[in-house]
Structure formats: C-alpha cells, structure tokens
Chain A
Amino acid sequence: MTTPRPAGPSGHTVFALLITWLVLYFAVRFFLEANMDLSSGIRLAIALIPTPVFILFVWTFVRGIRSADELERRIQLEALAVAFPLGLVLLTTLGLVQRAVELNFEDWSYNHVWPMFAFFYIAGIFMAKKRYE
C-alpha cells in the first residue's frame, strides 16, 4: 500500500471558509465605503477583519493538498503553475500600463484585479483535470 495520507479537511470546510471570507470581505468593503467619517485607526482595524479568516482558509487549503493523492497534488501544482505567472503578468502589465496612461481607479484598482487570480486558478484546474481525464 502507499504511504497513508493524513486525514485532511473536507472540500465543504474549505468552501465554507472561502464563502465566509467573501461575505466578510464585501461586508467590510461596503461598510468602509459607507462610513468614510470614521477615524483611520478604526477603519484600518475594520479593514483587517477578513484577514484571519483568509489565513485560516489558506491553512485549511494547504492541509487539503497535503492529504490529497499524488495525481490531485499534480493537478494543483499545474493549476498554480498557470495561475501564478498569469497573476504576475497581469500585475506587472497593469503597472506598466498605469505608468503609460491614467487608469480608472474604480476599474483597475486592486479591488477589481484580485478576482482574476481566482479565475486563473480555476482555469488552471480545468486545464490540468482535462489533461488527466
């Protein structure tokens, strides 16, 4: 038999943490936009509220990958090998474009770019899974 894999978190746990973080993120974002008159210290404290949940999500996700079998780990690696460079290309290109022309903050701020990272990762998962089907 192969080396026993450590019991990992269920996919439901990972998904629930992700949803929790997303809900918190948007709640905090809308709250901050609606309460511009608060002191910067309080605003900063509120802005950091979703971060521990995201750290917990990452930790749970990593535990999930460690408990996955070798093909699942390969698929994750290939997905990240697609997503990480594409994310870098996106950020560096936006940086250069922003130096060349004035970008609309509301369209191209970090608030709107981060979902592209999730999209790159999902695309990478799709490509890798297709390859081994």
Chain B
Amino acid sequence: MRNRLKVLRAERDWSQADLADRLGVSRQTINAVETGKYSPSLELAFSIARLVDQHIEEIFFPE
C-alpha cells in the first residue's frame, strides 16, 4: 500500500521520531510505513489521519 505520510510529515517539519512520539509508536514503525514495507493497523491509520487532519483515503491508497 502506498501513502503520502512522508510528504505530510515534511509539510509539518516533523522528523520520524517526532511523528513516532506523537503516535506512540517506534521510529522504525514510521519508517516502515513511509517506505511501504509495513501496512499499519486500522487503529494506527486512523491515528495518523486524525493527527494530520486528513481522511485515511487521502493518506493511504492501494498500489
């Protein structure tokens, strides 16, 4: 699954560690999601969407 997380994070000038702290996950998790190697759970996807104030389908989309 592709996503715009890296762009959204850069727009907010957050590091991966910043975003990880805000979401309560590890930096490794953020990196794996950004690179598309790991698809987050619904719970984490909703948390990300809420944090960047966007709908899930605006952040994550199928290949």
Contacts and interface: CB of A to CB of B under 8 A. Distances in A.
Contact of B24 (A69, A71, A74): A69
B16 interface: no
A70 B23 contact: no
Interface stretch (B5-13, B40-48, B55-63): B40-48
Nearest to A5: B24
A133 B50 CA distance: 26
B38 interface: yes
Contacts of B43: 2-3
Given A70-B44, A71-B38, A132 B32 contact: yes
A3 B24 CA distance: 8
Judged by DSSP, the binding face of B is: helix
Measured as residues with beta carbon below 8 angstroms from the partner, the interface class of chain B is: 10 to 19
23 contacts: A1-B22, A1-B24, A2-B25, A2-B43, A2-B44, A2-B47, A3-B43, A69-B26, A69-B29, A70-B29, A70-B40, A70-B44, A71-B26, A71-B29, A71-B38, A72-B29, A74-B38, A132-B28, A132-B32, A132-B37, A133-B31, A133-B32, A133-B37
